[in-house]
């Protein structure tokens, strides 16, 4: 059984600061990143200049 990612619009909801999430950029790419006092950042801490449209929490890992 596969886990479904629940995407959330940044216009409706934002993750807590410093919580690593999946992010969907305007260019169509998907990365991991986090929100830092209103600035989206890649996990490397580099600022994201491309608009972030959606974010999603990581799904739970599979049971072993």
State pLDDT tens for residues 33-46: 999 999 999 999 99
pLDDT of 62 reads 87
What is each CA distance from 9 to 44, 45, 56, in whole angstroms? 23, 22, 9
Report how far residue 49's alpha carbon sits from residue 64's, in angstroms, rounded to the nearest whole number.
39
Give the pLDDT score at 3. 61
Band (pLDDT 50/70/90 cuts) for residue 5 is: confident
With beta carbons less than 8 A apart as the criterion, state whether 54 and 24 touch: yes
pLDDT value at 2 more than 90: no
In this predicted structure, the answer to whether residue 13 has a pLDDT above a threshold of 70 is: yes
Q: What is the pTM of this model?
A: 0.85
């Amino acid at each position: 059984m596969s886990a479904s990612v629940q995407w959330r619009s940044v216009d409706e909801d934002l993750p807590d600061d410093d919580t690593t999430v999946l992010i969907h950029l305007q260019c169509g790419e998907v990365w991991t990143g986090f929100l830092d006092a209103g600035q989206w950042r890649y996990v490397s801490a580099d600022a994201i200049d491309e608009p972030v449209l959606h974010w999603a929490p990581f799904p739970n890992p599979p049971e072993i």
